[in-house]
Amino acid sequence: MAIYELACETGHRFEVIQSYTAPLPSCPECGGATRKIPSSFALGGTAAVPPPPERMPQTWKGTYRGDRDYVTDLRRTAESRQKLEDKYPELAGDRRPIVAHEGRYEAAPLRAGDAVPAPSEGAGHGHGHSHGHGHGHAHTHGRGHGHGHAQESAKSRPATDG
Q: How many whole angstroms separate alpha carbon 147 and alpha carbon 157?
A: 18
Model pLDDT for residues 101-160, shown as the tens digit of each residue: 888 888 888 888 898 888 765 555 544 444 444 444 444 444 444 444 444 444 445 555
Q: Is the pLDDT of residue 88 over 50?
A: yes
Q: Is the pLDDT of residue 54 over 50?
A: yes
In this prediction, residue 134 carries a pLDDT of 45
Q: How many whole angstroms separate alpha carbon 105 and alpha carbon 117?
A: 10
In the chain, what's the furthest Cα-to-Cα distance?
Answer: 128
For residues 10 and 30, the answer to whether their CB atoms sit within 8 Å is yes
Determine the average pLDDT of the residues in 30-36: 92
Q: Is the pLDDT of residue 40 over 50?
A: yes
Interior CA angle at 126 toward 137 and 107, to 5°? Answer: 145
In this prediction, residue 43 carries a pLDDT of 64
For the chain, the average pLDDT equals: 75
In this prediction, residue 141 carries a pLDDT of 45
In this prediction, residue 62 carries a pLDDT of 74
Question: Confidence class of residue 12 from pLDDT cuts 50, 70 and 90?
Answer: very high
**Can you give the residue ranges of every domain in the chain?**
2-36, 53-111
